């Protein structure tokens, strides 16, 4: 997908400053979501009060520390939520995914934040979902939606969970990226833990390309107790029985030098014909993986670029893309590395598992874990306490896209 409403202005500033630039051009804004609300926040005070009005004259009830709230507006004194108002000093914006459970008897997961766009599946009460953020409705829909890794849910259809299995459905670490191998899924239930009794967190219909990060022992199925912990888009860190994933051919590295000298610094080569990405250093491949590239009409373009703007998370929305194939709103897209002024980026992907095929609006989609690993290897390096910033392209990591 493509986002970045202010990228063109930032890029223009970068070009104007040119080679004289030796430091950051634009430090990340106060809000992690540069587009403004809606966004997620969490209660940071031990307890805060939800009020019915901004002047705090009518109390609705308490909110405990760690509660997630949806922010739709406010100021430095009071923050507005769909249910009321809370003190701004008691909440902080959050970009971290969290595990929720379905609170309604059933809830429909939609492909986009519009109920007319088609249902993915119906989830049952108690089912677990990974929540990424809050989305605006598209194509005339006026609702707010929870964006999950499997689709969009109504704002009041989920709640926090105390299910112990949720503690086992954790995101993989960046270092896991270099240890995995690629597989092709059969039709399968994806579970929170390596057990046939663990909650189902989603489904593979068959043919999805996922990365197997590790083998774990769990419940026996037909005499086989080996389960795989997977990486991918929708269910990173979840588990599938080993009988339901077969080996895919290993991605092969593509070696192509950038158009300028980089010394001992790394660079990236994206091979469109093979749908692969290779990280190289000192002329040798260090890491190769499958990616998803632009569809016909919005192809990922050949050329040499650079990761000159990086954000740990960023909202991607079709409202900033004149030629978008369809309307979309994707909050907190992880590990985003912009390499073109039109918003093309290398980024983690949480909405599909079709790596090795063309699925994007021109971006380079990678798995969650591959995205975090690549983000840690490229320039500029983003300090842990910052969301991201831009630099002169000469100070960024080259990205070579070839056929």
CA distance 276 to 256: 13
Check pLDDT > 90 for residue 318.
Answer: no
What is the predicted pLDDT for the residue at 301? Answer: 84
**What would the mean pLDDT of 332-352 be, rounded to a whole number?**
94
Report the predicted TM-score, pTM, of the whole model to 2 decimal places: 0.89
Please tell me the least confidently modeled range out of 11-15, 91-95, 109-113, 137-141. Answer: 11-15
Check pLDDT > 60 for residue 326.
Answer: yes
What is the predicted pLDDT for the residue at 57? Answer: 94
What percentage of residues in the chain have a pLDDT greater than 90? 81
Q: What is the CATH number of the domain that holds 207?
A: 2.30.30
Q: Report residue 341 as tokens.
A: 């002024």
On average, the pLDDT of the chain sits at 89
Asked whether residue 2 is domain-assigned, the answer is no
Q: Report residue 278 as tokens.
A: 């290779």
- CA torsion sign for 366, 368, 369, 375 is positive
Q: Are residues 82 and 104 in the same domain?
A: no
Give the three-class secondary structure for 106. Answer: strand
Asked whether residue 196 is domain-assigned, the answer is yes
Q: Are residues 340 and 384 in the same domain?
A: yes
pLDDT in tens, 17-29: 232 222 233 333 3
Q: Are residues 126 and 184 in the same domain?
A: no
Q: Which of 230, 247, 264 is the last residue of a domain?
A: 247
Q: Label residue 322 by pLDDT band (50, 70, 90).
A: low
CA distance 348 to 27: 22
Q: Which of 118, 142, 166 is the last residue of a domain?
A: 166
Asked whether residue 1 is domain-assigned, the answer is no
Q: Label residue 213 by pLDDT band (50, 70, 90).
A: very high
What is the predicted pLDDT for the residue at 36? Answer: 84
Q: What is the 3-state secondary structure (H, E, C) of 10-55?
A: HHHHHHHHHHHCCCCCEECCCCCCCCCCCEEEEECCCEEEEECCCC
Q: Label residue 49 by pLDDT band (50, 70, 90).
A: very high
Asked whether residue 317 is domain-assigned, the answer is yes
Domain count, the chain: 4
Check pLDDT > 90 for residue 146.
Answer: yes
Distance of CA 375 to the CA centre of its chain: 13
Q: Are residues 279 and 376 in the same domain?
A: yes
Check pLDDT > 50 for residue 177.
Answer: yes
pLDDT in tens, 189-210: 999 999 999 999 999 999 999 9
Q: Are residues 123 and 189 in the same domain?
A: no
Q: Which of 247, 262, 288 is the last residue of a domain?
A: 247
pLDDT in tens, 238-276: 999 999 999 999 999 999 999 889 999 999 999 999 999
Q: Are residues 59 and 182 in the same domain?
A: no
Q: Are residues 394 and 257 in the same domain?
A: yes
What is the predicted pLDDT for the residue at 17? Answer: 27
Check pLDDT > 90 for residue 379.
Answer: yes
Q: Label residue 357 by pLDDT band (50, 70, 90).
A: confident
Q: Label residue 392 by pLDDT band (50, 70, 90).
A: very high
Q: Are residues 147 and 272 in the same domain?
A: no
Q: What is the span of the domain harbouring residue 67?
A: 39-93
């Amino acid at each position: 997908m493509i986002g970045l409403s202010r990228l063109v202005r930032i890029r223009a500033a970068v070009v104007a400053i040119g080679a004289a630039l030796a430091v950051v051009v634009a430090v990340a804004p106060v809000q992690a979501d540069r587009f403004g609300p809606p966004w997620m926040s969490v209660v940071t005070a031990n307890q805060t009060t939800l009020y019915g009005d901004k002047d705090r004259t009518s109390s609705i009830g308490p909110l405990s520390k760690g509660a997630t709230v949806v922010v739709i507006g406010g100021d430095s004194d009071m923050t507005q939520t769909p249910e009321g108002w809370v003190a701004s000093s008691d909440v902080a914006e959050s970009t971290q995914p969290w595990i929720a459970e379905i609170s309604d008897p059933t809830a429909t997961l939609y492909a986009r934040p519009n109920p007319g766009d088609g249902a993915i599946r119906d989830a049952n009460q108690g089912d677990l979902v990974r929540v990424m953020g809050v989305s605006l409705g598209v194509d005339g829909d006026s609702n707010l939606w929870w964006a999950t890794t499997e689709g969009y849910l109504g704002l009041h259809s989920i709640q926090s969970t105390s299910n112990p299995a949720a503690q086992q459905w954790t995101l993989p670490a960046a270092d896991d990226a270099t240890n995995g191998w690629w597989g092709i899924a059969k039709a399968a239930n994806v579970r929170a833990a390596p057990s046939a009794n663990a909650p189902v967190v989603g489904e593979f219909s068959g043919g999805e390309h996922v990365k197997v990060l590790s083998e774990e022992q769990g419940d026996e199925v037909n005499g086989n107790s080996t389960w795989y912990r997977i990486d991918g888009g929708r269910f990173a860190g979840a588990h599938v029985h080993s009988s339901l994933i077969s080996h895919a051919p290993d991605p092969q590295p593509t070696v192509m030098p950038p158009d300028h000298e980089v010394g001992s610094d790394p660079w990236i080569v994206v091979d469109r014909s093979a749908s692969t990405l290779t990280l190289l250093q000192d002329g040798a491949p260090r890491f190769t993986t499958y990616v998803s590239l632009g569809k016909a009409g919005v192809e990922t373009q050949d050329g040499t670029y650079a990761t000159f703007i990086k954000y740990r998370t960023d909202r991607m929305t079709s409202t900033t893309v004149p030629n978008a194939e369809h309307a979309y709103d994707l909050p907190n897209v992880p590990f985003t590395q912009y390499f073109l002024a039109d918003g093309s980026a290398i980024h983690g992907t949480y909405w599909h598992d079709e790596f090795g095929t063309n699925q994007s609006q021109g971006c380079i989609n990678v798995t969650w874990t591959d995205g975090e690993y690549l983000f840690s290897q490229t320039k500029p390096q983003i300090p842990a306490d910052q969301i991201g910033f831009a630099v002169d392209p000469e100070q960024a990591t080259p990205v070579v896209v070839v056929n």
